[in-house]
Structure 1
Amino acid sequence: MAASILRVLALTASTAAALTISEINGNKFLSPYAGQSVSNVSGVVTAKGPDGLWLRSPMPDRDDRTSQSIYVFGRTFGTNLSVGDSIVVGGRVAEYRSNKDYIFLTELGSPVLEEKVSSGNAVKPLVIGKDTRNPPTEQFSALDGGDVFAVPNNVSLVSVANPVLDPKKYGLDFWESLCGELVTVRKPTAVAKPNNFGDTWVIGDWKVTGRNKRGGLTMTDRDANPEAIIIGSPLDGSSNPSSTKLGDTLSEITGVVTYAFGFYRILPLTSIQILRSATPTLPSATELLSSGKCDGITFGDYNVENLSPTSSHLPAIAEHIVQYLKSPDLVFLQEVQDDNGETNDDVTSSNITLSTLTSAILTAGGPTYAYASISPTDDQDGGVPGGNIRVAYLYKPTLLRLSASSSGIGSSSDATTVLPGPKLTYNPGRIDPLNAAWTASRKPLVAQWDVLPSGRKNRKRSTFFTVNVHFGSKGGSSSLHGDARPPVNGGVLDRSAQANLTASFIASILSHSPTAKIVSAGDFNEFAFVEPLESFSRISQSNDLDAVTRIRDEERYTYLFDMNAQQLDHMYVSRALQKRAKYEHLHINTWVDRSAQISDHDPSVAKLDVCD
């Protein structure tokens, strides 16, 4: 058990005798007997762990809401007991959690063996999807009000509301109703990479929603896939593999359901075994190739994850841009660090970082790129301390150039504005960089571009605008299986303010020219169906390019987190760019195992007609 222990113990000295395990668990999240001493509790040992064992009642009550099993916590208890032993115990009912943001686990503490009745009893696991029904596929809790992403969030707590379980409708209720049970997951599929402890999210042969072609579960509007379950540390002391990949087929898993570290989970009797992996290992390169003219400009978008001149993954990023993105005409980059990376000094320039990257692209067989960025004020843009991450552009100077501006390139504190034309006062420039909405966060980089005469279809000037964003992080978010309902979406109010500022700037361009061609792309750190981006789309009069190009909801992902394939990286376009638009995500980082992952984000490529 974790060192920081929180236990709920009712202030009572009463003792309840001859209770069944299901009566102790009750039909809510918290036991009606929390804090009370109990005796004469009968059960069969179904599994043993390093700090206790699990008991299943010999007298099931046939109520789907009440678990028939319980965890008996005692580091020395049960040393001489074996799986299959039928025993009678006493102890004290406790509610345990290692963090105030977690849901409590009902357990029997301070156990005393009152009688060993028999040994060698058959222990048969319950099969999820068969004996225990199918887990719900959309809603986590009645306390979420139908939307796990609702704003405002954190308006109620499971530990306070303690609702009656409805395991047929709500995912948390389903897993809570199985806490302590020995279960089997048949035909499991990995829906994520393992974390640093080898814990791996899986689904079994039960009904799911949001399944993508790779075998994972994609988060969609109001559906964050409560049917997935994480497989934790094996009870036999072995280790789960670190090489598990999205979509891997696994061998059958048997273990006990419990709650720890913010999630319901199954502790398997032994380690996960990989049977086979999805193919191909990597996706094909994009087929969206530049026409070399304004009618087919290609745009790449890539969060390059803390890129510095000495980053070991820099050559691989360059190869990705050349081999998979096929050297787009214009590339939106996020998480570009300063010239000495995480060294925490007053260096803020990224010229060496970007020139090192462009040289590596040339070495990899790509074009000669120019770059554009604005150095932030030291330690004001968030990210890794000392790294001074910022957004930046790579572009082909043989096809594109920055349009002339009245004031040149902006500084870290200069706010670019829109003049009649429309044109920018600073190009490139930042959007209201001193606004409090950007505290400890990256500022969007706006640019206006001209297609060079050789790339135009006629003599008319062809110009367009871009907005490169990296909104505030989701740091401080709570678990989807956490106490707060709806779960805390860390930084959502900051992102709402950032989205509104950025969208209003785009709207100001359109107020001068309703047919202006504007591309907004980057790491928005939010989902398209959540308030900040819904507001962004509405105010900016821009549309999500996934929707414009009709990419299936299940294939809209660029990132893996917990049980979900999800999309934090987006591209939005103004109405003038929607016709003939093409777009795709290249899953070169989400499909591979952790050791082969170059960035934690997938890149994307679009092809757009920017001709006037």
Structure 2
Amino acid sequence: MTLLANIRIATPLFFSAFLAGPTNAAERSIAEIQGVDHKSPIAAAEEVTTSGIVTGHFGSGFFLQSALPDGDQGTSEGIFVFLGSAPAFPVPVRGDIVTVTGQVTEFQPLLQPPLFPTREQAVCGTTQITTVNNQDRGTFLAGTQIYRVSALTVDGSGTLPQPVSFAPPGMNSTIGYADKPHTPFNPTDHPRDYFESLEGMRVVIEEAVVVSRKDRGWDQFWVAPAAGLDADDLTAYGLPLAHAGHVFPEVVQVHKAVGQPAFALPVGTKLGDRTGILTYENGNYMVVLDAAIDETAYPAPTQPTVTAPTNPEGLRIATYNAENLTIGAPGSANRFAAIAAQVVGDLNSPDIIALQEVQDDDGQGATAVVTATQTIGALVDAILATGGRRHLPVALDPMQPNTDGGAPGANIRTVFLVADDSGVEILSSERLFDGDDRCDSSANPFQAARRPLLVEAEIDGTRYVLVNLHLSSKLGDQGLYTNAENPQPGSTDRRRRQAAQLVAELERRYSGNPPVILLMGDFNDHVDAKALEPFHQSTLGFTFLRDHRGENYTASYAFNGVREAIDHFAVGGTGLANPTVTYLNLNADALTQVSDHNPVVLVVH
């Protein structure tokens, strides 16, 4: 492995370093500066002098770690020293023993890609798009740093401190929280406190396994120590699977080594022991790796043996989040061909396809275009060209621009495609909750959100109601490692209101003589989530359907290295006698993704 510790990159600019005259700075150990808490016990802007060994560089500064630890597991022995974009001192190299004088600060890191200081926001019902400030940084934990450096001397060179083995509480047991509110700092039992106790220190992730796809253009990805991958917490493909009561502190974000050329890695790649420095970025703790990764040195991971899905005869219905599909995007022809190949091959040419995230024909941007005729037609043609069946679209455009959320100006919507030889007779179609209150968030929970598309149909003499839905995302939820001790999923209430309104409408229409009611699409939550309780409580008796092979196959999305099922089929009304559901692991774990969601197929026998 090639060490790259002496290479610096110019990423975030925090403060400007400056020279000062003689000071009366108190001598403090790094552990005394860090203290036993998330914030330093030393007053803000107090000047201190401390020393240690330079362990690595990042951004506009370097990490310093004590050569004489205090033995207290609650205090970190590492700290970041900020020098600025134009250092007033020669920058020490890795292994230098350094004495530094500067002021102590608690600094919330600046946003780093893929997060940006501003974002675009559409004005509902208009073509107007405004720019608003991104408020995410205000939720970040602050990191203890030394800045405004007034003196820096190199006193010699030394041996790097031995890294601490990365083993957060809950790594080999179930843990349902990152911290407990109003309790003492406890790195032994609280993952959030554990990470803080190692801030700025060298750690080693033993037998690291890649658990998120590593795109060539990304600096960060997620890994876990092999010893933390308990079989009960994994998908059938050997990757972390979300379940109630466990927050996966063992899954940690890593940043490529400073100066590392671009590289890509598939999930499941075994990287051996990986050493780096624990820091914090974009609301997550993160390990900046010491050494470059040579992607050619690692063989393709062995794929586990999995149970092949059954392929019974019957009515086939698929739900497929097509991730911002539009003919207006560069390279769209290749994307349509790739989706068509999955539809015809892996999904076995369904009779009905429920699509989510179909954009208008010119995609994101401030225009008056709301139609998606060309986009939908291009997919229909691509499926036919791939040897599939001809599908007839059931699609209704938004009544006004920018009423359905998603990317500003893209007018995202849900769409059904029905094979013309399927025997499915479409009786009616309707965009629900698209009245005059469409832009009133207090009256309409679907304001700036995708409207459910309801279709009434007759199939083999049986009445069906098909609802294609895409509930609001989790944008704005407090993360596990933000400045909230007890983080709250702020988006839950909105999804719950949407679910409750949809259930009430379905009960009003169909309770007297219920047909088969099938809900499908991107629910943006787990089946046992509070947001989806109205479905479970409905008098229409909705049941969420799981993969016929078992829970460890039931996953449609990957977030921060953990798989979760957020795309679902739910059946209610008169129900179905013997449905078979299959979650197809095509996209969420793929290095080259066609979409970021896995499709799900239901077969009605």
TM-score category (smaller protein): 0.7 to 0.9
2:531 aligned residue: 532
Q: Which residue type is aligned with residue 104 of structure 2?
A: V
Residue 299 (1) aligns with residue 332 (2): no
1:498 aligned residue: 498
Cα drift, residue 467 of structure 1: 1.0
Residue 394 (1) aligns with residue 414 (2): no
**Contact in 2 for aligned 1:136/1:174 (Cα 8 Å):** no
Residue 128 (1) aligns with residue 136 (2): no
2:97 aligned residue: 86
Cα drift, residue 402 of structure 1: 3.4
Structure 2 CA distance for aligned equivalents of residues 267 and 551 of structure 1: 37
Q: Which residue type is aligned with residue 206 of structure 2?
A: R
Residue 466 (1) aligns with residue 462 (2): no
**Contact in 2 for aligned 1:45/1:85 (Cα 8 Å):** yes
Q: Which residue type is aligned with residue 537 of structure 2?
A: R
Cα drift, residue 303 of structure 1: 0.8
Cα drift, residue 344 of structure 1: 4.5
2:405 aligned residue: 382
1:191 aligned residue: 211
User: Residue 506 of structure 1 aligns to a residue in which SS?
Assistant: helix
Structure 2 CA distance for aligned equivalents of residues 16 and 102 of structure 1: 29
Report the TM-score when normalising by structure 2.
0.81
> CA separation of 1:267/1:339 partners in 2, compared to 1, >3 Å: closer, same or farther?
closer
> CA separation of 1:120/1:279 partners in 2, compared to 1, >3 Å: closer, same or farther?
closer
1:265 aligned residue: 286
Q: Any idea what the Cα deviations from partners look like across 1:267-297, whole Å, max 9, x if unmatched?
A: 11223344233345999985434x2xxxx32
1:567 aligned residue: 565
Q: Which residue type is aligned with residue 555 of structure 1?
A: Y
Q: Which residue type is aligned with residue 565 of structure 1?
A: R
Residue 443 (1) aligns with residue 451 (2): yes
Q: Any idea what the Cα deviations from partners look like across 1:248-284, whole Å, max 9, x if unmatched?
A: 2224321111112221111112233442333459999
- 1:128-207 paired onto structure 2 within 5 Å: 128-129=166-167, 138-143=175-180, 164-194=184-214, 196-207=217-228
| 1:57 aligned to which of 58, 63, 66 | 66
Structure 2 CA distance for aligned equivalents of residues 281 and 378 of structure 1: 48
**Contact in 1 for aligned 2:424/2:459 (Cα 8 Å):** yes
Q: Any idea what the Cα deviations from partners look like across 1:350-384, whole Å, max 9, x if unmatched?
A: 33332332222121111122221222113221223
**Contact in 1 for aligned 2:176/2:244 (Cα 8 Å):** no
2:117 aligned residue: none
**Contact in 1 for aligned 2:316/2:603 (Cα 8 Å):** yes
Structure 1 CA distance for aligned equivalents of residues 519 and 378 of structure 2: 26
Structure 1 CA distance for aligned equivalents of residues 453 and 529 of structure 2: 23
Cα drift, residue 386 of structure 1: 3.3
**Contact in 1 for aligned 2:395/2:416 (Cα 8 Å):** yes
User: Residue 226 of structure 2 aligns to a residue in which SS?
Assistant: coil
Cα drift, residue 41 of structure 1: 2.6
User: Residue 339 of structure 2 aligns to a residue in which SS?
Assistant: helix
**Contact in 2 for aligned 1:300/1:330 (Cα 8 Å):** yes
1:231 aligned residue: 254
| 1:335 aligned to which of 340, 357, 368 | 357
| 2:30 aligned to which of 18, 21, 36 | 21
Cα drift, residue 348 of structure 1: 3.1
Cα drift, residue 390 of structure 1: 1.4
> CA separation of 1:565/1:114 partners in 2, compared to 1, >3 Å: closer, same or farther?
same
**Contact in 1 for aligned 2:321/2:355 (Cα 8 Å):** yes
| 2:602 aligned to which of 581, 595, 606 | 606
Cα drift, residue 394 of structure 1: 1.4
> CA separation of 1:585/1:523 partners in 2, compared to 1, >3 Å: closer, same or farther?
same
The answer for unaligned runs of 5 or more in structure 2 is 1-9, 17-22, 111-136
- 1:451-600 paired onto structure 2 within 5 Å: 451-452=459-460, 461-487=461-487, 489=489, 491-508=491-508, 511-513=511-513, 516-539=515-538, 540-546=540-546, 549=548, 551-552=550-551, 554-574=552-572, 576-577=574-575, 579-593=577-591, 596-600=592-596
| 1:361 aligned to which of 376, 383, 403 | 383
> CA separation of 1:34/1:400 partners in 2, compared to 1, >3 Å: closer, same or farther?
farther
**Contact in 2 for aligned 1:451/1:462 (Cα 8 Å):** yes
**Contact in 2 for aligned 1:188/1:249 (Cα 8 Å):** yes
Cα drift, residue 488 of structure 1: 5.1
Structure 1 CA distance for aligned equivalents of residues 138 and 13 of structure 2: 10
**Contact in 2 for aligned 1:135/1:168 (Cα 8 Å):** no
Structure 1 CA distance for aligned equivalents of residues 52 and 172 of structure 2: 26
Cα drift, residue 393 of structure 1: 1.1
* Aligned residues between the structures: 547
The answer for unaligned runs of 5 or more in structure 1 is 8-13, 146-160, 416-429, 453-460
> CA separation of 1:288/1:507 partners in 2, compared to 1, >3 Å: closer, same or farther?
farther
Report the TM-score when normalising by structure 1.
0.80
User: Residue 23 of structure 1 aligns to a residue in which SS?
Assistant: helix
Structure 2 CA distance for aligned equivalents of residues 570 and 6 of structure 1: 48
User: Residue 565 of structure 1 aligns to a residue in which SS?
Assistant: strand
1:349 aligned residue: 371
> CA separation of 1:179/1:577 partners in 2, compared to 1, >3 Å: closer, same or farther?
same
Cα drift, residue 572 of structure 1: 0.9
Q: Which residue type is aligned with residue 69 of structure 1?
A: G
Q: Any idea what the Cα deviations from partners look like across 1:558-593, whole Å, max 9, x if unmatched?
A: 122223222221111127435422111112112221
**Contact in 1 for aligned 2:347/2:601 (Cα 8 Å):** yes
Structure 1 CA distance for aligned equivalents of residues 163 and 434 of structure 2: 65
> CA separation of 1:378/1:324 partners in 2, compared to 1, >3 Å: closer, same or farther?
same
